[in-house]
Structure 1
């Protein structure tokens, strides 16, 4: 760290989390209610808390920060709530309806449901204007751009009050001249209006994906621009010495200028920092295979990292919109502490995805909730302290939780309250396990090879049960788990993805010179970008990947490749890796069939110095020093209550082994240690749980 502090800010839908790292290794955690209408209000409130805690003014703290990092749900919320701007689309004549045709795709589970509604169109049909032009796959111009048609379309956009324009022409990834000229005309006729092209936003093969990604970017970028400018101006007014960094969906940081025109890169900004934090926590244990699970009040987010590399999604449907740019693969479920529990019309117990939210919240909060939530079940089961006061104001009411579980679950099913509460816990656990399997088994990974990392305030009560279900033998629970994404931000690097298409069959006639030249061009762009961001050449690294397929296949398989010049020998190794990866994903490979390359990618990284965090030293304490007492807890479906030891996390010494059943209470989370597990606090301020 160049200065005294590093500040991470994660603006969620309910709370904005703050993590302040000091250069002496101390880590401070703060929370403030989010203010979606103006993010600076929540940030100011959090900075006020920090100011009071460290005894310095807000200006002094900000001026002494080497990095101020902001993760935000602004783009995501605008997409969810359909609150982007009015967009017009210029597309190649004949392709106006590709957004609605969607390659004939219907979401999984609704393929044969005729009444399933179509996706909401960001650009209505009358604002998709056809332009006669044509570039073919070789990059040659088959039909010149008819500029007057562009001008007529822009005149229509002006009359319709369009605020942003997307341009996506067929095969512009091979020759972007028509898109560039159309953009010039739009900027000339509509100065100040946001404009983006497919060859800029997603320069890879797949016309529908490129068009959809470009349209989403045009829809969100003006919203993101307003947000970034407001945040940047606020920090400048405080005297910040360095530009605010923003967290991207690819797991890296970017300056505000880059984010303003690429809002599509910020859609999954919040949970994307969790994998980096997971690796950091696992490093002292030599663990680089990590599944991170983050359970909050409403949702359950899952990410997977294998051999230090996190799963990335490309060309996926996100909220029913096709997104091509790389995004950390985050599996999100409606399974949080506030997930509601009811018996449906068929007599089946349903847990989520509806949530009680913060208001009224679970029944035990006493704020008007009547339907039991997962938190109510955990309270009934003894996993939560019935005398606990959450947030300094909410005292839990166990009797109310019992009554709600009885009325809405136990009585309709004709079972005891205990069995009903355990059933709720079991169902939400199975829902979460299914999500874990989607990011692991369905991607060719065995979850038994991974440590399970616990994040979020509610996950600690379920984590050992999840580990048992997936076969994981190691669980890590950091003390900062409730603000884990903000923590991940302060230890992340700057990251940019550079994409291109270079279709070729990988045989003896493959044009490797062209392939090497394309990679070198992408990486030179990246180096120049990062150097302009303030990085030295020694601080820059990069990785490469390619998308390949067997000739005749529709979909590609992503393969990581080593940097450096690609020669015939290296191409042979790349092909071997492709066959291996294809077999991991689809259980078979065809080594004797021809393979073709479709897309390439270079990921450029500006490596940021990591803070040095304080390590805990043993104080010579005993387990009894942290023992609060005992309370009954339920760990099986037969209703056998167990007198369970309860420990204070802040009083627990390093190296003390706690055997389950036990509960460890931290200020922001509870950790349930099921029978057959043991827990120990490690020097890196992380609890490590293993099977006895």
Structure 2
């Protein structure tokens, strides 16, 4: 049967997750160890694991799949480890150091810290070449391009073995001809080099952000290009009839050719699919406001959707590098199952960000680790099955966990092992709550207006405690929670962002005409691109946004709007939307002040047919899934409480459990604290509600 399968692959730091869906509605999750030295090997290993467990050969899956989707950490890892390509920068003379000057300050949070070291430059000073040219803020040419300077730069780059070149000139977004001509010269003299042109990649006002974005893209482009070539080639060898799609940081799918050219969009592609998965999971209850939390072995990722749309950030410092393109906002914290507990110089208990990782791992793994971790605390508290994780394939040693906590924390602090373990649990939860506030409260959203969605294998043990601390009264936990990002990929749409500078004040018919023309031009281009990709008109959707500010303000805020005809009267709708967003973010607005636009953006999506949802048969009552009790601790006193434990595999739709209780799925454990109830929906989602 053609197009029988859909395959999602999410490459994480420790595991690569595989989600395989078929047309019958069966959705299965598989995990293989990631192989950072050769990311394609993990894909081969995962497909071999699928064949071993299901009997379905890799060729049969790929050749009968409508979509094979890959979310990759290749770009992220290259940026973290500073293992990108040897990159050169061609800039306006006198502006070669803008990426190092960084607008004259350090990142937020470190601005006044004299001990905070400077960021490592992706392009060293000797590979930054200034050329004589200058465009002014009106778009007029002040100094023509000196082409001989560009040729000198190319000669220098050839001598230095440069693989990738970024071009970024001042005010190029208003007059792109100089960058275009410089690009022609580079292609002529360096035909094998990867080339990034700032005014094409990120045509927005703000020279530093545009230059930094172009540099990051150039730094990663050769790495992503080689990866895409290897993955595409492998899938073609398996008989793929459709091109592999890659997940982007903007929350949509793209062809490999797009990812190769616009590699900056692939930096954080893994967790960026979580919001789409959350909305799909919440759809049966018409849930639009969802915070998704994903706890793995070393990190904790948070994303947010409001009114059915994911939080999107632009102009952010990511891993200390300014990136302008729109990215799903992912707040990442060093808090995971391997986070190590320690005592600081003040004698206070701390958790992380140091992690035991997978090697040697938590003490309870009995693989040589002797430091107390979050997983050790959860085991001592009774939340995890001492018989082992992943269906018993990963045995746990309670005595090793207790010894690690006792030696390093309990005795020095004068606590029992149980009290110390609950303290570890509480502190790591508080760390995660603070991170959740950064994507909610600090963005102008009240977390109590949201439901909390669980992702990642380690999150289930903490999910009701996190909701309690945030005042959230409903939690969703899918049976696919441990591979939620891979699941998000197979239900996501193709998406491209088209942006343009628009320095205009919202007054008069001329302003409306200019904005309307810009949007129409961007959307005509985007629609044509998606039609060329095989999408018909009624499967293409458009969303608009504008970067706006009050005249005289230094920074702007992004305002999302539905497409509508932009005439002079419609400008009042844009102003009202800006005033409302400004008040939401900063608690005040100035309706009497003049408003101006800086940039505009259209997000064009091609809707992909979704696979059928998982369907769970009606249950026989929760008691049929009860297989015992365990002593668990739910308070700082460390008092043990006998608590029922249920098998997730035996629970059916409609089965309801009253906390305290634990539900053990094969790849995750769900702790239901006192005061909470859980009911399994037919879609394979546990709905947890606070009884109070």
- TM-score past 0.5 threshold: yes
Shift of 1:509: 6.0
SS of 2:284's equivalent in the other structure is: helix
- Cα distance in 2 for partners of 1:395, 1:6 equals 33
Shift of 1:105: 2.2
**Residues 24 and 613 of structure 1 are in contact (CA less than 8 Å); yes or no, is this contact kept in structure 2?**
no
Shift of 1:653: 2.2
Q: Which residue of 1 is the match for residue 639 of structure 2?
A: 640
SS of 1:552's equivalent in the other structure is: coil
- Structure 1: stretches of 5+ with no match in the other structure: none
**Residues 621 and 656 of structure 2 are in contact (CA less than 8 Å); yes or no, is this contact kept in structure 1?**
no
- Cα distance in 2 for partners of 1:159, 1:624 equals 74
- Alignment pair present for 1:86 and 2:92: no
Shift of 1:570: 1.4
For residues 339-358 of structure 1, what are the structure 2 equivalents within 5 Å?
A: 339-358=339-358
Deviates more, 1:51-60 or 1:199-208: 51-60
Q: Which residue of 2 is the match for residue 277 of structure 1?
A: 277
Shift of 1:181: 0.4
Shift of 1:344: 1.8
Shift of 1:241: 0.2
- Cα distance in 2 for partners of 1:527, 1:95 equals 36
For residues 52-451 of structure 1, what are the structure 2 equivalents within 5 Å?
A: 52-390=52-390, 393-451=393-451
Shift of 1:104: 1.5
- Cα distance in 2 for partners of 1:569, 1:434 equals 43
Shift of 1:394: 2.8
**Residues 626 and 649 of structure 1 are in contact (CA less than 8 Å); yes or no, is this contact kept in structure 2?**
yes
Shift of 1:560: 1.1
Deviates more, 1:409-418 or 1:51-60: 51-60
**Residues 6 and 20 of structure 1 are in contact (CA less than 8 Å); yes or no, is this contact kept in structure 2?**
yes
SS of 1:485's equivalent in the other structure is: helix
- Structure 2: stretches of 5+ with no match in the other structure: none
**Residues 390 and 668 of structure 2 are in contact (CA less than 8 Å); yes or no, is this contact kept in structure 1?**
no
Shift of 1:562: 2.0
- Alignment pair present for 1:649 and 2:635: no
Q: Which residue of 1 is the match for residue 454 of structure 2?
A: 454
What is the CA deviation profile of residues 223-244 of structure 1, one whole-angstrom value per residue up to 9, with x for unaligned ones?
0000000000111111100000
SS of 1:217's equivalent in the other structure is: helix
Q: Structure 2 vs 1, CA of residues 633 and 600 (structure 1 numbering), >3 Å: closer, same or farther?
A: same
Q: Which residue of 2 is the match for residue 601 of structure 1?
A: 601
For residues 602-617 of structure 1, what are the structure 2 equivalents within 5 Å?
A: 602-617=602-617
Q: When the two structures are superposed, what TM-score results if normalisation uses the length of structure 2?
A: 0.98
SS of 1:394's equivalent in the other structure is: coil
Deviates more, 1:134-143 or 1:326-335: 134-143
What is the CA deviation profile of residues 73-106 of structure 1, one whole-angstrom value per residue up to 9, with x for unaligned ones?
0000000000001111010111111111101221
Deviates more, 1:184-193 or 1:507-516: 507-516
**Residues 389 and 667 of structure 2 are in contact (CA less than 8 Å); yes or no, is this contact kept in structure 1?**
no
- Cα distance in 2 for partners of 1:666, 1:102 equals 48
Shift of 1:614: 3.4
For residues 413-562 of structure 1, what are the structure 2 equivalents within 5 Å?
A: 413-508=413-508, 510-562=510-562
CA RMSD of aligned residues (A): 1.2
**Residues 662 and 669 of structure 2 are in contact (CA less than 8 Å); yes or no, is this contact kept in structure 1?**
yes
What is the CA deviation profile of residues 97-125 of structure 1, one whole-angstrom value per residue up to 9, with x for unaligned ones?
11111012212332222121100001111
- Cα distance in 1 for partners of 2:600, 2:396 equals 54
- Cα distance in 1 for partners of 2:551, 2:56 equals 64
Deviates more, 1:649-658 or 1:302-311: 649-658
SS of 1:658's equivalent in the other structure is: strand
**Residues 507 and 571 of structure 2 are in contact (CA less than 8 Å); yes or no, is this contact kept in structure 1?**
no
Q: Which residue of 2 is the match for residue 688 of structure 1?
A: 687
Shift of 1:68: 0.3
SS of 2:192's equivalent in the other structure is: coil
Shift of 1:56: 3.4
Q: Structure 2 vs 1, CA of residues 680 and 262 (structure 1 numbering), >3 Å: closer, same or farther?
A: same
- Cα distance in 2 for partners of 1:527, 1:392 equals 51
**Residues 9 and 17 of structure 2 are in contact (CA less than 8 Å); yes or no, is this contact kept in structure 1?**
yes
- Cα distance in 2 for partners of 1:9, 1:289 equals 26
What is the CA deviation profile of residues 613-651 of structure 1, one whole-angstrom value per residue up to 9, with x for unaligned ones?
2322214x1222111111111101112211111111111
SS of 2:457's equivalent in the other structure is: coil
- Cα distance in 2 for partners of 1:670, 1:595 equals 51
SS of 1:569's equivalent in the other structure is: coil
- Cα distance in 1 for partners of 2:572, 2:76 equals 41
- Cα distance in 2 for partners of 1:508, 1:159 equals 54
SS of 1:511's equivalent in the other structure is: helix
- Cα distance in 2 for partners of 1:117, 1:247 equals 33
Q: When the two structures are superposed, what TM-score results if normalisation uses the length of structure 1?
A: 0.98
Q: Which residue of 2 is the match for residue 618 of structure 1?
A: 618
Shift of 1:176: 0.6
- Cα distance in 2 for partners of 1:4, 1:52 equals 19
Deviates more, 1:650-659 or 1:160-169: 650-659
**Residues 225 and 260 of structure 1 are in contact (CA less than 8 Å); yes or no, is this contact kept in structure 2?**
yes
- Cα distance in 2 for partners of 1:111, 1:275 equals 31
- Cα distance in 1 for partners of 2:608, 2:129 equals 44
Q: Which residue of 2 is the match for residue 578 of structure 1?
A: 578
SS of 1:112's equivalent in the other structure is: coil
What is the CA deviation profile of residues 401-422 of structure 1, one whole-angstrom value per residue up to 9, with x for unaligned ones?
1111111111111111111111
**Residues 24 and 614 of structure 1 are in contact (CA less than 8 Å); yes or no, is this contact kept in structure 2?**
no
SS of 2:347's equivalent in the other structure is: coil
Shift of 1:2: 6.8
Shift of 1:54: 3.8
Shift of 1:658: 0.7
**Residues 51 and 61 of structure 1 are in contact (CA less than 8 Å); yes or no, is this contact kept in structure 2?**
no
SS of 2:431's equivalent in the other structure is: helix
SS of 1:395's equivalent in the other structure is: coil
- Cα distance in 1 for partners of 2:30, 2:470 equals 33
Deviates more, 1:98-107 or 1:240-249: 98-107
SS of 2:171's equivalent in the other structure is: coil
